[in-house]
Amino acid sequence: MFRILTLAACLCWFSAPAFADDAKKETNCTNRADDDGDGMIDCADADCHDDAACKPDGKPENTDARCSDWVDNDGDGVMDCDDEDCEGLGVSVCKGSWKGDLAGGGKARVQTAAPGTSVANGLSDEGIPLEAISSMGDSTDFYELIGKFGDKDGERNDEVCSDGMDNDGDGRVDCADFGCRFDPEVTVCRGSPGVRFGVVSMVDGGRLATTSTPYGGADTTTTASTTQFSKLQMTALGPIAAIQNSFFLLSMRMERTPRLSFAMFQMPLGNGGHFLNLNSGGGGLSAALITSTSKNLLIDPASYMYRAFEQANGAALEAYGPLVAGNRLTYRVFVAGGSGRSTGSVGGTYILNNDTSYTYGTGAQLGINVIGTYNRFDTPFLYTPVPTTLGFLAGVKWDQRAQERYPAANVLGVFRWNRIYAQAEVYGKRSIDYDANSIAYNATVGILAIPKWLLLAADYGAFVSQKMQNLPVNATSDLTKQLDEQQVRVAAHLYFWRNIGVLSMVFRDRRVGGTDTIAAIHEQEFFGNVQFRF
């Protein structure tokens, strides 16, 4: 487009002698003015061809000023808005003429006479403090603004960036918040406030060795190698028509067969930050079952943390919001129910052993933000150093499965500081029908070794259970799979394209205890994973 406009302008220049004085020339090639009246400004004018200011300097083309200066700054053969670098975060001159509110009800943009110049309120075209822009210099990533210049780094996922609330109390709502606007994992604040589509794709390749030890028998070891698209998740997120500060989220898994795996619809309850959420089965205390596949530091969640404690309910209704000002203390209450076992698709169930019992669960959870703001939808991946956050989630519930009734409790603590992410979770229950207690725990740590390049992670955890008494003859896998287990994993994540493309190497060592009818197993796996999330 810029080449077409340039050609058209040049043709007009050759054919319009009445509007320009041929004797005059562009005297200043950086003042954004047409000094000689020929319709061409600064470096677009042939008079500036030899001016030093119009020569490529090899630096990135990634700011409003450098994307509108008629110079191929980085020397890659494309100029200004023709360069894909000018489609990045913080660049507004290539986004058309729309000047309305930012998606999600954020602060309106301020249009200045020249991109990036100072105005009365000290904001740039995108509502970014000018002091923040000047401090960045030639930095290539507006991501670095998160947690600085008044931002509290408490809004960095699609869910809280769509609710119309200032969740972290920094004065910026939804898409006006730096975390919502500049974190590439947030899709709802890109361009139009309409429906946003997201994709997470993972390709795995590795080798798994499994040693099986039957009760009283000899070890048997098998190995297997594989390369495959292990995960392909597609999401759609957008506002619900005619309901302000609402949103819906649909998640579809595509790697084996197309299936809608999760659906969520959220609506406000009044104007105090309280919400009602209807979803397809997130009625539990652990966020593992509703977290995107792109948000696991060890690629997969630790299944022992939820397998014995959560059930795939058919539908769940939740209400949540603040208990005190500033979201220092929040609540969440839920009820959920269903029948049969889930097929992995919304609305899909099947019945085992002719058991059509209705299953249900209900519970409550408190969120405690000691420092900063933590949300259960947040990602543990670190890309740049972050401000300090210390938060807890603590909850209790009652669950009735087809063959088991139990009360359960869960506590999760999260600590973020600079280049460190740490998380610890404990989940316990009392199986009333089979007179047994079970507990699971997990500790995860991530260290950002090289900002924007290398993240190291590890976790360790276990599931420990007392032997269940008087199991039924037709016991389902919900009961038979509650075996002692321990697992340790380490991973290295290399960001090869911002934090959208990630190359990971993972090692896993897992041991599961056996019974007189079930063999004990020992698994060791090493695999590589390539992930794209956008």
Q: Using one digit for the tens of pLDDT, what is the confidence trace for 137-148?
A: 555 466 777 877
Between vectors from CA 320 to CA 317 and to CA 324, what angle results, nearest 5°?
Answer: 165
Residues 230, 204 contacting (CB under 8 angstroms)? yes
> According to the model, what pLDDT value does residue 133 have?
60
Q: Other C-beta atoms within 10 Å of 133: how many?
A: 21
CA distance 487 to 382: 23
Domain boundaries, the chain: 194-533
pLDDT score for 493: 98
Residue 127: phi, psi to the nearest 5? Answer: 75, 20
- Apex 416 CA angle, 412 and 156, nearest 5: 90
Per-residue pLDDT, 132: 62
Gap between the Cα atoms of 235 and 53, Å rounded: 45
Residues 6 or more apart whose CB falls under 8 angstroms from that of 119 comprise 110, 112
Q: Determine the pLDDT at residue 304.
A: 93
**pLDDT at residue 112, as a whole number:** 35
Instruction: Determine the pLDDT at residue 225.
Output: 95
At 17, is the secondary structure helix, strand, or coil? helix
Question: CB 58: neighbour CB atoms within 10 A?
Answer: 9
User: And the tokens for 469?
Assistant: 């008494």
Residues 246 and 159: their CA atoms lie apart, in Å, by 10
- pLDDT computed for residue 164 by the predictor: 75
**CATH code for the structural domain at 194-533:** 2.40.160.10
**Cα–Cα dist 261/86, whole Å:** 36
The predicted structure's pLDDT at residue 8: 43
Pairing of the two strands 259-269 and 420-431: unpaired
Cβ–Cβ contacts within 10 Å for residue 33, how many? 11
259-312 pLDDT per residue, tens:
998 999 999 998 888 999 999 886 689 887 777 888 899 999 999 998 899 887
Triad 258, 299, 249: Cα angle to 5° = 45
Residues of the chain with pLDDT under 70: 1-23, 39, 84, 87-90, 92-142, 184, 187, 190-194, 282-283, 352-356
